[in-house]
Amino acid sequence: MRFSPSFNINRKLIVLVLAVSLVAIAVTTVFSFNFADTILKNDIKEELVDESNDRGKAVRTFIENRISVLFTLSKNSLIQNTITELNKIDDVSVFNAKKKEKETPLIVEISNFQISKGRDFAIENVDLIGNNGRIILSLNPFFDVKNFISLDNVETPIVEFVKDTNNKRHMAVFLPIFDNNDNSKKIGMMVATLDTSLLDQILLNRYGLQMTGEVYLINKDRLMISDSIFIKNAAFNQKVNTLPVSECFENGQEISGEVYRDYRGVEIFGVSYCATDLGLVVLTEIDESEILSPLFDLQEKILVIGFVLMVVVSGITYVLSRRLSQPIMKLRDAANEIAKGNFDVRTNIKSNDEIGQLSSSFDFMAENLKQSIIALRRRDKIIRQQEDILLQLSGQNENCCVCIVDIIGSTITAKSLTEKKAGKFYEIFINSIADIVRKYNGKIVKNLGDALLFYFPIKDKNNVKEFKNVIDCCLEICDSNGEINKKLATEGLPGIAYRISSTYGEVSVASVSTSTVNDIFGETVNKCSKINRNAFPNTLVIGKCFYEKINTDTDYKFLKITDELLFKDAEYEVYLVSRK
């Protein structure tokens, strides 16, 4: 036999090493990427949460401090008295004259208050409005207060971010003014516009945000009210309706380390600080691509190093495989010579490893084969001379109880099984029955496909105990059906039912020169086979001769099988046997 060298062991080993290397590199890359991705995102998440909380709290402090200071201003006695006095005047001309008279003292009072609070407070405009909606004072108006919000709707401080004609952002605080003598009585409203430069410092500080990170404010109208590092003039123009904005204004929930698309449609990793009481949400975001860039660098390095290692290992494997394959190919060639009939070939491989041991064993085998072939040829003539006497009758007949166990419907069952499953099916059946037969000292003759033939020699035909032994064996086989089906179920095989028949009479015993098991022939065997079909599933039937030997025993019940029971003609008298 000749073998094609196109894919020898050298190539197989190299392919194996390459395959293992590629799998190792792939697995390492995937697991390292996922593991590093989790760690890196957790680290970024912690940093962003800290930044978001710090900046969100700073924004809240910025707003609440200014509300608190403006509330103090609203309690100023001059402002209180002026608003109360002007609220009582209905005549427009008198109101305007009084308003002009009070304007300068109010401006001075507000200016002094501004100076006392420092430049950081940065009041740009103050509007004082009476409870009848008339403007009492307006220092430097940026917008029409009446059109922006109704006095009746201001019961608690309201903060809005507005822009002027130059698109500069300002923070407007709408503050109800209550009478100092009656805190439940609202006498007017103060609208203060403040500079937001300090707020910009909070939001635009790049610390902890890397290259693509940004912090920005969104109001309840889903508008960006702070500057974007990516889009010009985004404030009050850019609509933002992303996941954290919806979660904040619709559910009052913050997000902590989620991947979603931002207002640019870019995948980002973000954290939110939700301040629904102020009508704001602070978003802190970094592009996901920037977060993952170190991972892609790591992945690339793993691939490069893995490729280099794969080339080195493949080279080493090639050298080693050559040293390994040469003696193996020598063994292959020697085996081919033996297959051709040349038993004088020897490998003579001298090494201290397993290949050397295999070579020694091969040479020893070749020598033994040579000697065995010589011996077989010598015996060939003798075997040929004995071919006509392989089967010799022993020259004597014996009285026996012959038994057959036959599976019901095995042909149909076997067709549904694979060859391997069918082999296991018959193996379990035959071995289980054989164990019981040997237990009662029966002699197994052979299996007949789906049936098993065995017998019990009867030394004393008047000894009822010998016949009872046969009956007990067959009944135990009936009882073992459940246990056999359990074994079949364990192997995933279908269950079975079988019929058992037994007859008593004289048989001819034959010995076979190639086997230690005797065979039996005669009418008794034929009769046992024919009455087997009269048995019910998992029951025993016996012939008339057997019945006459055992019917006096009171341990068993005997029922003669009639045409009415079988719905067919019975060729022989048949008796159903069971225990009492």
Q: How far is Cα 35 from Cα 40, in angstroms, rounded to an integer?
A: 9
In a domain, 1, yes or no: no
Q: How far is Cα 129 from Cα 44, in angstroms, rounded to an integer?
A: 48
% residues pLDDT > 70 (the chain): 85
In a domain, 27, yes or no: no
Q: How far is Cα 156 from Cα 133, in angstroms, rounded to an integer?
A: 17
pLDDT band, very low/low/confident/very high, at 387 (cuts 50, 70, 90): very low
What's the DSSP call for residue 4? -
Instruction: Quickly tell me which residue has 């909070």 as its tokens.
Output: 202
Length of the chain, in residues:
580
Write the CATH number for 491: 3.30.70.1230
Q: Which residues of 274-304 are buried (b: 16+ CB within 10 A; e: fewer)?
A: bbeebebbbbbbbbbeebbeebeeebeeeee
Last residue of one domain, picked from the residues 198, 223, 253: 198
Helix (H) or strand (E) holding 46: helix 9-74
Beta bridge partners of residue 29, listed in sequence order: none
| Cβ–Cβ under 8 Å, residues 550 and 474 | no
pLDDT band, very low/low/confident/very high, at 242 (cuts 50, 70, 90): very high
Write the CATH number for 280: 3.30.450
Coil vs helix vs strand at 430: helix
Looking at the structure, tell me whether residues 214 and 173 fall in a common domain. Answer: no
Looking at the structure, tell me whether residues 461 and 571 fall in a common domain. Answer: yes
In a domain, 316, yes or no: no
Amino acid letter at 87?
Answer: N
157-180 mean pLDDT:
85
Compute CA distances 576 → 454, 504, 539, 541, 555, whole Å.
19, 15, 7, 4, 14
Looking at the structure, tell me whether residues 176 and 280 fall in a common domain. Answer: no
Looking at the structure, tell me whether residues 487 and 523 fall in a common domain. Answer: yes
The parent domain of residue 130 ranges over 100-198
Give pLDDT, residue 470.
95
Looking at the structure, tell me whether residues 453 and 358 fall in a common domain. Answer: no
pLDDT band, very low/low/confident/very high, at 260 (cuts 50, 70, 90): very high
Coil vs helix vs strand at 418: coil
What total of structural domains would you count in the chain? 4
- pLDDT tens per residue, range 267-315: 998 999 999 988 899 999 988 888 877 767 776 777 778 778 777 877 8
In a domain, 69, yes or no: no
Q: Which of 47, 304, 278 is nearest to 174 (CA)?
A: 278
What is the model's pTM? 0.49
The 3-state secondary structure of 78-106, one letter per residue: HHHHHHHHHHCCCCHHHHHHHHHHHHHHH
Last residue of one domain, picked from the residues 327, 361, 385: 385
Q: How far is Cα 8 from Cα 410, in angstroms, rounded to an integer?
A: 47
In a domain, 573, yes or no: yes
Q: How far is Cα 340 from Cα 414, in angstroms, rounded to an integer?
A: 40
Q: Which of 225, 224, 260 is nearest to 243 (CA)?
A: 260
Residue 258 corresponds to which tokens in the numbers above?
A: 């989620």
In a domain, 566, yes or no: yes
Give pLDDT, residue 205.
81
Beta bridge partners of residue 223, listed in sequence order: 239
Looking at the structure, tell me whether residues 440 and 524 fall in a common domain. Answer: yes
- pLDDT tens per residue, range 3-62: 445 556 666 767 777 777 777 767 766 666 666 667 777 777 788 888 888 888 989 998
Looking at the structure, tell me whether residues 526 and 395 fall in a common domain. Answer: yes
| Cβ–Cβ under 8 Å, residues 542 and 575 | yes
- pLDDT tens per residue, range 389-403: 444 544 578 899 999
Looking at the structure, tell me whether residues 456 and 561 fall in a common domain. Answer: yes
Taking residue 479's Cβ as centre, other Cβ atoms within 10 Å add up to 12
Looking at the structure, tell me whether residues 568 and 489 fall in a common domain. Answer: yes
Looking at the structure, tell me whether residues 355 and 402 fall in a common domain. Answer: no
Looking at the structure, tell me whether residues 547 and 426 fall in a common domain. Answer: yes
Looking at the structure, tell me whether residues 413 and 504 fall in a common domain. Answer: yes
Residue 184 has pLDDT above 60, yes or no: yes
In a domain, 34, yes or no: no
In a domain, 203, yes or no: no
Q: How far is Cα 73 from Cα 109, in angstroms, rounded to an integer?
A: 9
| Cβ–Cβ under 8 Å, residues 561 and 576 | yes
